[in-house]
């Protein structure tokens, strides 16, 4: 039997597969356009997005719970493109102060890019 080399996501967590749907070149282009990393040295936009999505998908109720969950995954953060889990205060400041317009542009860019995979309301009627 030959090994199937077409499978790209073998051995990677589902969350990592979800993050790979985001084209990093487009992501960093948006970061530069919106200047969303200007005031943040330790909590860049990619870390912010990863932290938010982790909290949502893990059903965390607080920023502390989210950061503790990321800290518990210490060795697996490389799948998300993170070096280390953010501190609770750093993540809280980023969530409070970073403009949501960056994430709005990211959301609409992703829906446009992956619209062929999304079901429209017409299919449900």
Instruction: State pLDDT tens for residues 72-122.
Output: 887 778 777 788 889 999 888 888 888 888 889 989 988 888 777 766 545
- Reading the block at residue 16, the tokens are 């990592």
- The chain-wide mean pLDDT, for the chain, equals 81
**Which pTM value belongs to this model?**
0.77
Token pair 């299919």 in the structure block, residue: 123
Token pair 């970061």 in the structure block, residue: 31
Write the DSSP string, 40-98.
Answer: -SSS-HHHHHHHHHHHHHTT-SSHHHHHHHHHHTGGGGGGGT-SSPPPHHHHHHHHHHS
Local confidence band at 65 (pLDDT 50, 70, 90 cut-offs): very high
Local confidence band at 125 (pLDDT 50, 70, 90 cut-offs): low
Local confidence band at 9 (pLDDT 50, 70, 90 cut-offs): very low
């Amino acid at each position: 039997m030959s090994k199937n080399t077409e499978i790209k996501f073998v051995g990677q967590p589902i969350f990592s597969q979800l993050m790979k749907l985001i084209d990093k070149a487009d992501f960093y282009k948006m970061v530069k356009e919106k200047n969303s990393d200007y005031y943040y040295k330790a909590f860049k936009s990619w870390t912010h997005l990863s932290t938010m999505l982790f909290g949502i998908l893990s059903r965390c109720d607080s920023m502390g719970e989210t950061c503790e969950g990321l800290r518990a995954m210490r060795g697996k953060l490389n799948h998300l493109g993170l070096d280390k889990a953010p501190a609770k205060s750093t993540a809280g400041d980023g969530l409070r102060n970073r403009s949501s317009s960056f994430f709005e542009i990211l959301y609409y860019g992703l829906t446009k890019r992956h619209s062929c995979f999304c079901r429209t309301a017409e299919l449900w009627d």
